[in-house]
Structure 1
């Protein structure tokens, strides 16, 4: 189970790091065709969401990898799950439909799974 959790955490970290870096390095105008929701928020908010996603990705992997404060990994997973809950709500409220919220729901559910297992039976 530990290997499974590492694989899921790695995939989550990859996805969140990529999304976070894109939000941090791409202008709001360039993000608009791919992410229509950015029209409803300020550029600072887009950058803030990107920073949260990138820090969460780092928090999933780095602390347990270097064995310094590994409890930060499930805390990061909880933070990412909350971020994805917010993303799903935004998509549904905007009228983007449930299909637009599915990636956020899946990533959020995987984050909850990692947090639950790392706080519980498979803690570091």
Structure 2
């Protein structure tokens, strides 16, 4: 189970890193033209950049605390925060009539729930 939790966290961290980089550094018109990014054309630049920074922090928080052995409970906390972020993404895609990415957001949400459950319950990191 420990291995699958690491894989799930690494997968989520990769998704968060890629999403964070694009939302933080890619120009908004280019993001709005990309599939699934249409909503960024209606959102303020500050909101998009803030979400990008949050995703970059999530990428770090899903892996680094456990690797360094410093406050490894933050992996589960970050996974819970990722669940909230995915709920917001689902609402946003529904609101802008873009249901294509809802299934993907649900998969990410499920992975984050698995990581949070696993690290807070049956397979916590040693203290």
TM range (shorter): over 0.9
Residue 88 of structure 2 is aligned to residue 117 of structure 1:
no
- The counterpart of 2:55, out of the listed 50, 53, 56, is 53
Matches within 5 A, 1:66-105: 66-97=68-99, 99-105=100-106
* In 2: Cα distance, 1:100 partner to 1:114 partner: 21
RMSD: 0.8
Q: CA deviation at 1:100?
A: 2.5
Q: Distance in 2 between matches of 1:100 and 1:54?
A: 20
Cα offsets for 1:89-112 (capped at 9, x unmatched): 111122212x23111111111111
Distance 2:103 2:33 in 1: 19
Supply the distance in 1 between the matched residues of 2:113 and 2:45 (Cα, whole angstroms).
28
Partner of 1:107 in structure 2? 108
Distance in 2 of aligned mates of 1:100 and 1:73: 25
Q: Distance in 1 between matches of 2:75 and 2:57?
A: 11
Distance 1:103 1:119 in 2: 24
Taking structure 1 as the reference length, the TM-score comes to: 0.96
How many residues matched? Answer: 123
Q: 1:44 aligns with which of 46, 70, 76?
A: 46
Unaligned runs of 5+ in 1: none
- Alpha-carbon distance in 2 for matches of 1:93, 1:26: 23
Counterpart in the other structure of 1:21: 21
Per the normalisation by structure 2, the TM-score is 0.93
Tell me, in whole angstroms, the C-alpha distance in 2 between the residues paired with 1:56 and 1:100: 20
1:4 alignment partner in structure 2: 4
Q: Which runs of 4+ in 1 moved over 3 A?
A: none
